[in-house]
Amino acid sequence: VKLTDFAKRHQHDIQNDPVFRHRFLQMCGPLGVDPLASQKTVLGKLLGMGDFYHELAVKIAEVCLANKSRNGGIMSIKEIQGILKQRKTRLGMASQQTDVSVSDIQVAIQKLGKLGGGFRTVQVGKSTMVVSVPTELDNDHMEVMEVANKMGGVTLDQVMNSTGWNRPRAERALELLLQEGMAWLDEHNGVSYYWFTSLWQEK
C-alpha cells in the first residue's frame, strides 16, 4: 500500500524523469514488485510502465533493424539513445518527447531478450553495446572488439600482438565478425584492416 501511495504521489516524476524512474524500479526489486508485469495490477494501471517499456522495446528493435546493414547487428547503447532523441520519441502516456536513459534502454532490451531474436547487451571496454542478432559472440570475438575499440580498426597482426594469440585463432575470430557484417574489410598497401562502424559511432 505504501508503495502504491508513493507511486501516486510521484506519478509524474516516474513517467517523465528517467533518473527517478530508474530509482523507482530499483526500489521495487527488493520488495518483489514488478511494475512492468501487467496492466491489471494497481501499479500497472497507475503508471503504465509496462506499456512504456513495451513501446520502447519496439522502438529499439526498429532502430537496430534499420542500422543492421551498416553495423551487422551491433551498436552502442548511446547511439541508440541519440537516435531516439533525434526522432523525438514519445512513449506510454507522454504527450511530448520522452527522455530515455541508458537504464531505460537496458530494461527494454531485457524484455526484448525474453522474446528471443538475440537481443542482449555486451560490454566492449567501457562501451555498452546492443547486439540484435542471435549469433553467439564468444570471449575471442569480444577481445578483438576491445582491441578495435582502442584503435578504431585493427589488422590481423595487431590482434595477434595485443592478445598473444596464434594466427589461426586471430583469423577465426576476425572471420566471424566479418561474415556477420559487424566488421568491414579494407585493403590498403597490401594490408587488411578490419573496421567496426558501431565503435566509430561510440567514439
Q: Cell numbers 570475438 correspond to what residue?
A: 141
* 46 close to 11: Cβ distance less than 8 angstroms: yes
Considering only CA atoms, give the Rg of the chain: 20
Q: State residue 47's pLDDT score.
A: 47
Average pLDDT value over all residues in the chain: 81
In Å, how far from its chain's centre is CA 181? 17
Q: Quick one: which of 106, 112, 152, 108 has its CA closest to 132?
A: 112
Cα dist. 192→69, 117, 199 in Å? 21, 32, 18
Q: What is the rounded distance in angstroms from the CA atom of residue 93 to the CA atom of residue 83?
A: 21
Task: Give alpha helix (H) positions in 72-196.
Answer: 77-86, 102-114, 139-151, 156-163, 167-179
Q: State residue 46's pLDDT score.
A: 47
Burial class from Cβ neighbours inside 10 Å (0-12, 13-18, 19+) for residue 31 reads exposed
In Å, how far from its chain's centre is CA 123? 10
Helix (H, G, I), strand (E, B) or coil at 130: strand
User: What does the buried/exposed string (b/e) look like for 101-119 if buried means 16 or more CB atoms within 10 Å of the residue's CB?
Assistant: eebbbebbbebbeeeeeeb
Share of the chain above pLDDT 70, in %: 79
pLDDT digits (tens, 9 = 90+) for 118-170: 889 999 888 899 998 888 888 999 999 999 888 778 999 999 999 999 999 99
pLDDT digits (tens, 9 = 90+) for 48-70: 466 777 788 888 888 998 998 88
Residues 6+ apart with CB under 8 A from 172: 140
Residue 38 has pLDDT above 50, yes or no: no
Residue 71 has pLDDT above 60, yes or no: yes
Choice between 142 and 17, residue whose per-residue pLDDT is larger? 142
What global pTM score does this model have?
0.68
The three cell numbers locating residue 193? 584492416
